[in-house]
């Protein structure tokens, strides 16, 4: 009995080793590059979040439109706001088109904040396959408190945030600077759930933003909030101004506006899929074409609306590349200006 058990265990061990280390079958001459291969999508966050869901929805359909129909494998590599996954992806991944990365805005914000040398990756050198942009953020204020926003003699409106890094916070910083908003930023909340709870309680958060239509509708229906403005136009909340419209003739020009564009641009990147630098152009082209075809399919649209967001936009390859460069390739003066606004709001130490 004992011998049988040993034999069985050895067999399992040996077969596992064979399965893991077996060389891939040699490609048939003339066969598509991806035939019989496996594409690994590294997700720079934990399972279950928006980034992970985007990768999983893409993995379900992507392979169908790549000649050779490779297998798709999802690998979650969370940690340090995605930096661990990006660092390994940028520096150590073989650029053979078989490993892709699903990243998010947090990586963009991190590069803006620390610079490519400190974080050891550079998003401007990635080969982008495409990106998915969910709805734009809508700024909410507690019902009946709008008047305090422009009344300097009133108690400042308390704005709740996580670490003062959210894209929507630009509305607060530029609003304080150019519209004279009477606001005080309180960072330290753990996530959107905590923020919403704090918003509903008396005496805590009085202003925060969300892009989630489900949360926004719930808050409005409950009668606890009213809309101030949104970053961009939202078809599901018509009649509400964008922040740019609110600025009117107070809209700044030059460096302050370039800084606004750079900060907000991160929201236009949202969830991106990329190949590592150095990936051959022909393989990138195959992947971009497959991403385009996939994004036009109704079943992809249905699943995206079900799992990720009720409304979203898709950008392909070069478009993503242009958006990313527009956000990240900015002058030092722009970066300094952003830091100055953050300092004024007390988000970073003076």
Partner 1 sequence: MWEASLSGLESILRPDMFCIIFIGVILGTICSLLPGVGSTAMLTMAIPFAVVLGPYGAIALMMSINAVSSSGGTITAVLTGIPGHSSGIATIIEGYPMTKRGMGARAIGAGLTASMVGGLIGAVALTASLPIFRPLVEALGAPEYFMFTMWGISMIVMLSGKAPLKGALAAVLGIYIMMVGLDTKSGAERWVFGEPYLWDGIEIILPALGIFAVPEAINFAVKGGSIAEQRLSYGAGLLDGIKDVFRNWFLVIRASLVGIWVGFIPGLGGPIASWVALGDARASSRGKGDWDRGEVRGVIAPEATNNATEGSTMIPTLCFGIPGSTSAALCIIAFLAVGILPGPEMLRGQLHFTFAIIWTLVIAQLIAGLLCLSLVRPISQVAFLPHHSVVPLIIVLVFLGAFSSNYRLADILLLLIFSTVGFFMRRFNWPRAPLLLGAVLAPIMEKYLWLSHAHYGATWLVRPWVIVIFCLIVFTAGLIPLWELRQKKKGVVREKDEVLKSQT
Query: d(Cα 115, Cα 126) in Å, to the nearest integer?
Result: 15
Q: Does 198 bind partner 1 (CB under 8 A)?
A: yes
Q: Tell the smallest beta-carbon distance from residue 321 to partner 1 (Å).
A: 26
Q: What is the DSSP string of 26-83?
A: PPPTTS-TTTT-EEEEEESS-TTSHHHHHHHHHHHHHGGGSTT--EEEEEE---GGGH
Which neighbouring-strand residues pair with 104?
271
Q: Tell the smallest beta-carbon distance from residue 7 to partner 1 (Å).
A: 21
Q: Which stretch binds partner 1 (CB under 8 A): 92-100, 127-135, 188-196, 237-245?
A: 188-196
Q: Does 6 bind partner 1 (CB under 8 A)?
A: no
Q: Does 218 bind partner 1 (CB under 8 A)?
A: yes
142 sits in which H/E element: strand 138-142
Which residues in 50-109 contact partner 1 (CB under 8 A)? 52-53, 76-81, 83-84, 87
Which of 67, 115, 180, 188: binder of partner 1 (CB under 8 A)?
188
CA-wise closest residue to 125 among 292, 338, 317, 325: 325
Helix (H, G, I), strand (E, B) or coil at 272: strand
Which residues in 222-241 contact partner 1 (CB under 8 A)? 222
Q: Distances in Å between the alpha carbon of 320 and those of 45, 126, 265? A: 20, 10, 11
Q: Tell the smallest beta-carbon distance from residue 68 to partner 1 (Å).
A: 25
Q: Does 307 bind partner 1 (CB under 8 A)?
A: yes
Mention every residue, 6+ apart, whose C-beta is less than 8 A from residue 134: 50, 211, 270, 271, 308, 309, 311, 312
Query: d(Cα 275, Cα 94) in Å, to the nearest integer?
Result: 10
Which residues in 138-167 contact partner 1 (CB under 8 A)? 158, 162-165
Helix axes 254-269, 332-344, angle to 10 degrees: 90
Of 251 and 339, CB closest to partner 1? 339
Strand-by-strand arrangement of the 207-210 sheet: 183-186, 157-160, 207-210, 138-142, 225-230
Query: d(Cα 120, Cα 84) in Å, to the nearest integer?
Result: 10
Q: Tell the smallest beta-carbon distance from residue 29 to partner 1 (Å).
A: 38
Q: Which stretch binds partner 1 (CB under 8 A): 149-157, 202-210, 228-236, 322-330?
A: 202-210
Which of 15, 71, 124, 193: binder of partner 1 (CB under 8 A)?
193
Of 23 and 191, CB closest to partner 1? 191
Mention every residue, 6+ apart, whose C-beta is less than 8 A from residue 143: 223, 224, 225, 226
Query: d(Cα 247, Cα 174) in Å, to the nearest integer?
Result: 9
Q: Does 115 bind partner 1 (CB under 8 A)?
A: no
Which of 201, 249, 253, 329: binder of partner 1 (CB under 8 A)?
201
Q: Tell the smallest beta-carbon distance from residue 50 to partner 1 (Å).
A: 10
Q: Does 314 bind partner 1 (CB under 8 A)?
A: no
CA-wise closest residue to 25 among 17, 36, 38, 33: 36
Q: How far is CA 83 from the centre of its chain?
A: 13
Q: Does 196 bind partner 1 (CB under 8 A)?
A: yes
Residue 163: CB atoms within 10 A of its CB come to 12
Q: Which stretch binds partner 1 (CB under 8 A): 20-28, 30-38, 191-199, 229-237?
A: 191-199
Q: Which stretch binds partner 1 (CB under 8 A): 27-35, 41-49, 93-101, 333-341?
A: 41-49
Helix, strand and coil in the chain, % to nearest 5: 50, 15, 35
Q: Does 122 bind partner 1 (CB under 8 A)?
A: no
Of 152 and 223, CB closest to partner 1? 223
Q: Tell the smallest beta-carbon distance from residue 117 to partner 1 (Å).
A: 13
Contacts with partner 1, residue ranges (CB under 8 A)? 46-48, 52-53, 76-81, 83-84, 87, 113, 158, 162-165, 186-190, 193-194, 196-198, 200-204, 214-215, 218, 222, 306-307, 347-349
């Amino acid at each position: 009995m004992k011998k049988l058990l040993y034999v069985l265990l050895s067999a399992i061990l040996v077969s596992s080793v064979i399965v893991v280390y077996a060389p891939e079958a040699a490609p048939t001459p003339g066969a598509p590059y991806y035939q019989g291969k496996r594409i690994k999508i590294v997700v720079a966050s934990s399972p279950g979040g928006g980034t992970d869901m985007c990768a999983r929805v893409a993995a379900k359909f992507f392979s169908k439109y790549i000649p050779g129909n490779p297998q798709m494998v999802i690998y979650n590599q969370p940690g340090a706001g995605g930096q661990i996954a990006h660092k390994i992806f940028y520096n150590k991944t073989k650029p053979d088109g078989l490993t892709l990365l699903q990243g998010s805005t947090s990586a963009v914000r991190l590069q803006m904040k620390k610079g490519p040398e400190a974080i050891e990756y550079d998003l401007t050198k990635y080969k982008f396959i495409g990106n998915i942009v969910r709805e734009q953020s809508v700024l909410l204020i507690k019902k009946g408190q709008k008047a305090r926003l422009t009344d300097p003699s009133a108690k400042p409106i308390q704005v709740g945030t996580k670490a003062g890094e959210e894209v929507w916070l630009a509305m607060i910083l530029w609003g304080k600077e150019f519209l004279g908003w009477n606001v005080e930023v309180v960072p330290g909340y753990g996530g959107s759930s905590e923020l919403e709870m704090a918003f509903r309680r008396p005496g805590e958060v009085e202003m925060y933003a969300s892009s989630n239509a489900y949360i926004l509708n719930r808050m409005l229906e409950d009668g606890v909030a009213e809309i101030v403005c949104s970053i961009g136009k939202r078809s599901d909340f018509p009649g509400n101004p964008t922040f740019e419209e609110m600025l009117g003739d107070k809209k700044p020009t030059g460096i302050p506006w370039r800084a606004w564009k750079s900060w907000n641009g991160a929201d236009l990147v949202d969830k991106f899929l990329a190949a590592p630098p150095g990936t051959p152009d022909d393989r990138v082209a195959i992947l971009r074409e497959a991403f385009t075809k996939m994004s036009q399919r109704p079943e992809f649209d249905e699943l995206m609306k079900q799992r990720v967001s009720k409304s979203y936009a898709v950008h392909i390859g070069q478009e993503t590349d242009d958006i990313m460069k527009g956000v990240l390739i900015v002058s030092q003066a722009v970066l300094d200006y952003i830091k100055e606004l953050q300092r004024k709001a007390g988000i970073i130490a003076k």
